[in-house]
Amino acid sequence: MNAPPITTASAESPALPNRFDLTAAIKDGLKTALIMLGLSIPILAYKTDQSGGDLWLSPRWGLVAILCALVFGLRILLHAFMATKAAREATPSPHQATEFVHAEPNAFQKTSRFAIPFFLGVALAFPVIIYFIQGGLNESRYWVDLGILILTYVMLGWGLNIVVGLAGLLDLGYVAFYAVGAYSYALLSTTFGLSFWICLPLAGILAGFWGMILGFPVLRLRGDYLAIVTLAFGEIIRLVLINWTDLTNGGAGISSIPRATFFGLPFTSGEGGFAQTFGLEFNGMHRIIFLYYLILALALLTNFVTMRLRKLPVGRAWEALREDEIACRSLGINTTNVKLTAFAIGAMFGGFAGSFFAVRQGFVSPESFNFLESAIILAIVVLGGMGSQIGVAIAAIVLVGGPEILRNLTFLQAVFGSGFDPNEYRLLLFGAGMVAMMVWRPRGLISERSPTVILKERKAISGSLVKEGHG
Amino acid sequence: MEIFVQQLINGLTLGSIYGLIAIGYTMVFGIIGMVNFAHGDVFMLSAFIALIFFLIFTTWLGISSVVLALLFVLVIAMVLTSLWGWAIERIAYRPLRGSFRLAPLISAIGVSIFLSNFVQVAQGARNKPTPPMIGDVIVLFQGESGYNVALSYKQIIIMVTTAVLLTIFWYLVQKTSLGRAQRACEQDRKMAALLGINVDRTISLTFVIGAALAAVAGTMYLLYYGVVSFNDGFVPGVKAFTAAVLGGIGSLPGAVLGGLIIGLIEVFWSAYFSIEYKDVAAFSILAIVLIFMPSGILGRPEVEKV
């Protein structure tokens, strides 16, 4: 037993081991800045401009200088931070030996109990709040549209979370099922005239069916091979949608898809429309608000089903599979079937979201379903913390809503010039965010896990104690 | 017959580009067991570096000999892309050793998204055409219907460069101490470290070599097609990964062989079946190979230890 000696105060503590060394920091900073210069020499320093077939270069050394200076400064700051952190870690804290399995619920966990009802309340009341803030139905259109967009991604994130977060299968082709759902509704409604309410479950079933067809051969593969094969399937489906022009009208897409009805009442101004039946004045916003509540209901359904499934044997098998596949197999779990259910159920929710997408847009084309879309949904799941429902919702709000809100901040345009559009940098930040998340917080923003099997009392487990994805 | 020979030449050219990229995938997979998803985008980035330096050399410095300019471009692109490869490994992959299994792949996807959008933001979203470089062809023989089977100087340059660099690279891996260290790390990283090999440095060098070969592929791609855009990394990247898997991932001759096969399949598929579905063919091969023969043609079957 050689526990570290517990020193009470720093009265006699010797010179701290990793003192902030300015010359070393500057040296290192210069080195990093030099690497940054090397990285940015052609790509940033010269921009290729073109008119017609001619290309010429316009130098931008100012930008490179700013970036190098920035990297230099950040590196020195990092050194200073590490020095203090090292100093903090060098003095042992009295509670160092205790593990944090039985840690008291921290501030976050205490507030998170109220966070869920709060978010739910905000989501339910959102159109009303916006109505009063903006002062009118037509004025609030932009915000309700944004709400619909965010909720679509929340739903997709929750759907993918079943596959990635719970079952631990990295699916890079999730957008394929979104596409299957969207095209199912588009084709069934335009060719057979089926209504949205019949097509919605059909689209989900079809997408789930496709999930099973695609999943069956690939689910025996190990994790990263599985990811690549799902990516390949996603791309194959998109390319088939582009090239099978007889069925899908190719790259031009399918337009004039029938709109959703209020359980049979169309949102039209005339006789028998939604507005007239309820004695309201006709307004196009009724449909938008209806769509908002529709996607909210669908997203909550996804969440509800997921939470319930987690408590069923199949859900426990998913999480067990994520933790240790070999142990699962030795305990007699049919891993292929368990993976297949996760894949199919995730695909089904993707299909629901897809048919909602089609009914909202009134238009679908293969370009909406490229790999980038899969990557965005995956980024939402990864950044939110794989397996955490509330984390995924927060990540979707931040990643989808964030750039939109940034766009409306006028002072950013004053800083970066008038043509500044944060949406251009959105994917750049997504990519960097995914890397940063894996490096610093591989469990995501919300990294705690609430176990589904409880003995006597409910305890939160720190995500770092959960050993995911080995085996 | 004439069409067949012509397509064979085109296929081998394309295949050597894929083979060069595939080596990057297969080496990284061999040494740390991760799919370096960002490798295709490193390739695209190198094509941009080559494009910019080609413009600098020809328009600003006034080097009139295209071959000389290309040689300089090739060397500079290799150096700068290696730096990118090194930096990516250092920032995005090295901290993840010992993290959960899918972490490096997710990180690599992040790098891939970052790189393609970085180039899009920095260079614009439009296709970048290069000034015509080398247009001459050698007519090998003329068919009866007047169809000329031609071998262009570009194709000769591409194949010769590929062959020369592969030889150098093969020598590096087989005969030098660096190559020995690398093969040792591939077999058992812990044991190699115990025997005094700097494992981190070896892994870094693997990324550097992979990126340098990707830069060769990028320069050749630019020379061959004369146009590059920010999203050109994805599909060639996936095809090169398919090549690596088909040849047996972890096996270097397998990567080159797989690259040639994929190049030939793509070209013949486009010529004889349908050009629209050529990418579908490549993706299908990837899925089929991974499902039915995951150890590829020249690879060793993987044994899972508990």
Domain residue spans in chain A?
22-48+57-91, 115-465
pTM of the predicted model, to two decimals? 0.84
Compare CB distances from B110 to A57, A218, A432 and report the shortest one's residue: A432
Q: Identify the CA nearest to B31 among candidates B162, B263, B243, B210.
A: B210
Q: What is the pLDDT of residue A89?
A: 65
- How far is A186 from A222, CA to CA, in rounded Å? 35
User: What mean pLDDT comes out for the span B205-223?
Assistant: 92
Q: What is the pLDDT of residue B88?
A: 92
Nearest CA in chain A to B52: A42
- How far is A95 from A464, CA to CA, in rounded Å? 18
Q: Identify the CA nearest to A109 among candidates A391, A460, A439.
A: A460
User: Percentage of residues in chain B with pLDDT exceeding 70?
Assistant: 96
When divided into structural domains, chain B yields a total of 1
**Are the CB atoms for A176 and A353 separated by under 8 Å?**
no
| pLDDT range class, residue A470, cuts 50, 70, 90 | very low
Q: What is the pLDDT of residue A461?
A: 55
**Are the CB atoms for B6 and B150 separated by under 8 Å?**
yes
Residue of A386, A439, A467 to mutate for B, most B C-beta atoms under 10 A: A439
Residue A9 in this model has a pLDDT that exceeds 50: no
**Per-residue pLDDT tens digits for A170-202:** 888 899 999 999 999 999 988 888 888 888 999
Instruction: Copy the structure tokens of residue A277.
Output: 């039946």
User: What mean pLDDT comes out for the span B31-53?
Assistant: 90
Using CB atoms and an 8 Å cut-off, which of residues 73-92 of chain B contact chain A?
A: 80, 83-84, 87, 91-92
**Per-residue pLDDT tens digits for A124-175:** 888 888 888 877 777 778 888 889 999 999 999 999 999 988 888 888 889 9
Q: What is the pLDDT of residue A272?
A: 72
The alpha carbon dihedral of B29, B34, B35, B40 has a sign of: negative
Q: Of A424-438, B150-164, B190-204, which gets the smallest average pLDDT?
A: A424-438
B291–A233 CB contact, under 8 Å: no
**Are the CB atoms for A281 and A275 separated by under 8 Å?**
yes
Q: What is the pLDDT of residue B300?
A: 72
In a domain, residue B100? The reply is yes
Residue B18 belongs to what domain range?
A: 2-232
Q: If you write DSSP's letter for every residue of A66-131 in order, what string do you get?
A: HHHHHHHHHHHHHHHHHHHHHHHHHS--TTTTS-GGGPPP-HHHHHHHHHHHHHHHHHHHHHHHHH
Q: Identify the CA nearest to A258 among candidates A129, A128, A363.
A: A363
A438–B49 CB contact, under 8 Å: no
Directed axis angle between helix B2-32 and helix B153-175, to 10°? 30
E strand or H helix at B152: strand B148-152
CATH architecture of the region A115-465? Orthogonal Bundle (1.10)
Using CB atoms and an 8 Å cut-off, which of residues 222-241 of chain B contact chain A?
A: 234, 238, 241
Compare CB distances from A42 to B53, B104, B118 and report the shortest one's residue: B53
How many CB pairs below 8 Å do chains A and B form together? 188
Residue A104 in this model has a pLDDT that exceeds 70: no
In a domain, residue B71? The reply is yes
User: What mean pLDDT comes out for the span A24-31?
Assistant: 84
Residue B126 in this model has a pLDDT that exceeds 50: yes
User: What mean pLDDT comes out for the span A88-106?
Assistant: 51
Using CB atoms and an 8 Å cut-off, which of residues 92-151 of chain B contact chain A?
A: 92, 95-96, 99-107, 109-124, 126, 128-131
Residues in B closer than 8 angstroms to A236, CB to CB, are 280, 283-284, 287
Nearest CA in chain B to A34: B83
User: Percentage of residues in chain A with pLDDT exceeding 70?
Assistant: 80
Residue A447 in this model has a pLDDT that exceeds 60: no
Residue B137 CA to chain centroid, in angstroms? 25
| pLDDT range class, residue A108, cuts 50, 70, 90 | low
| pLDDT range class, residue A123, cuts 50, 70, 90 | confident
B129–A50 CB contact, under 8 Å: yes
Most confident stretch, A12-16, B4-8, B16-20, B26-30? B16-20
Q: What is the largest CA-CA distance in chain A?
A: 88
**Are the CB atoms for A382 and B99 separated by under 8 Å?**
no
